[in-house]
């Protein structure tokens, strides 16, 4: 039963695999017919607008938007939970919507607090 359900998705994997099998030869052919000259080590330096690159390519980089990432972890799960409720909405009794509204109210409160905190940039 479970295998049957998962087997329905085999065509998605097939499509994924076909695209890989069809596109990888483009890279191989390109490698075969294009010129390859290893004359100059500067050629292989990372792009830095014509200058010799300084410093590391992979560094710690401050983006300063962590609250959004933290919110994402919570709300992405919440959104999928809402789908479990929404797709069954036509079958369940109307009273079953009330606890969902309570859940949403709690979530709104939490989200408003998180957004307020994310607005206070200096604490991050």
Partner 1 sequence: MSVIAPNFKLSEFIKSLLDNVFWIVLLLVLIGIPAVMMVLFFMEMPVIDGELLTPFLALTWLADPSRILPVVKAFMATDIFRVMAFPGFGFAALLAAGTIFVERKMLAKLQLRVGPFYCGKFEGILQLMGDGLKLISKEIIIPAKADKPIFWAAPVLFVAAAAAFVAFIPVAPGWVVADVEMGLLGVFAVIGFFPIITILSAWSANSKFPFIGGIRALFQMVSFEIPLILSLLGVVMLTGSLNLSQIAASQSSFPWIVFLPVGAIVFFITMLAELERIPFDLPEAESEIVAGWLTELSGMMYGLVQLGTYLKLYAFAALFVVIFLGGWNGPMVVPPFPAELLEEGIELGPIVAGPFPGLPLFDQAMLNGTLWFVLKTVAVIFFILLPRGVFPRIRVDMLLNLGWTKLIGLAFVNIFIALGLLYAGVLGPGGLQ
49 binds partner 1 (CB under 8 A): yes
What does the chain come to in residues?
124
- Within residues 60-89, the interface with partner 1 by CB under 8 A covers 61, 63, 65, 68-69, 71-72, 75-76, 79-80, 82-83, 86-89
40 binds partner 1 (CB under 8 A): no
Q: Answer positive or negative: Cα dihedral of 51, 55, 57, 62.
A: negative
115 binds partner 1 (CB under 8 A): yes
123 binds partner 1 (CB under 8 A): no
Q: What is the 3-state secondary structure (H, E, C) of 29-79?
A: HHHHHCCCCCCCHHHHCCCCCCCCCCCCCCCCCCCCCHHHHHHHHHHHHHH
Instruction: Give the whole-angstrom CA distance, residue 107 versus residue 75.
Output: 9
**Which residues are near partner 1 by CB under 8 A?**
5, 8-9, 11-20, 22-24, 26-27, 29-37, 41, 43-49, 53, 55, 57-59, 61, 63, 65, 68-69, 71-72, 75-76, 79-80, 82-83, 86-91, 94, 97, 104, 108, 111, 115, 118
């Amino acid at each position: 039963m479970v295998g049957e359900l998962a087997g329905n998705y085999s065509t998605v994997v097939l499509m994924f695999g076909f695209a890989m099998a069809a596109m990888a030869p483009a890279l191989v052919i390109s490698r075969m017919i294009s010129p390859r000259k290893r004359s100059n080590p500067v050629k292989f330096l990372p792009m830095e607008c014509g200058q010799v690159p300084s410093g590391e390519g992979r560094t710690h980089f401050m983006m300063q938007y962590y609250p959004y990432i933290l919110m994402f972890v919570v709300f992405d799960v919440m959104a999928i939970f809402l789908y479990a409720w929404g797709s069954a909405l036509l079958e369940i009794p109307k009273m079953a919507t009330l606890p969902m509204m309570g859940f949403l109210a709690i979530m709104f409160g939490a989200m408003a607090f998180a957004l307020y905190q994310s607005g206070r940039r200096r604490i991050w």
